[in-house]
Amino acid sequence: MTARPKATLRDRLQAKIDARVETARLTPCPRCGADTITARTPDRVAALDVRADPTPLDPVAEILARLDGRLTWCLTSGEHTTARIHWRSTEHIRAGHCTHTVIADHRCPPRPVQETLL
Ligand SMILES: [Zn+2]
Ligand SMILES: [Zn+2]
């Protein structure tokens, strides 16, 4: 007799669900309609739902984004793995050997004045 087969099945199902929400995908921003990459980052104790701009940043653009108060992320994908968003720690940035695509938090552009008045 195997031990608690029901729990095992549920664990496997939960792992599948986790993998799905952690897979980075392109979805339009519900507020401004811009293309954004969304995923749940699995790196932190509390999982974080990220919505980021799909535009890759060079080191200068990343510094500007961070000065602007936006978080930056590593977009990882391999030949056999799905795309994921990973937390960029200051150690990870300083180490300098990161070859990931760097993206920053999405921020909706300011609404045009006439639209705000309506
Ligand atoms: Zn990285
Ligand atoms: Zn937006």
pTM: 0.76
- Closest ligand to Cα 98: 1
Res. 117 pLDDT band, cuts 50 70 90: low
Contacts of 74 (CB under 8 A, 6+ apart): 85, 86, 87, 88, 92, 98, 100, 101, 102
Banded model confidence at residue 47, pLDDT cuts 50, 70, 90:
confident
Compute the mean pLDDT over every residue in the chain, rounded to the nearest whole number. 85
CA of 36 to the centre of ligand 2 (A): 8
Ligand nearest to the CA of 29: 2
Number of the ligand closest to the Cα of 101: 1
Question: How far is ligand 1, taken at its centre, from the CA of residue 7, in Å?
Answer: 35
Most confident of 46-50, 59-63, 82-86, 111-115: 59-63
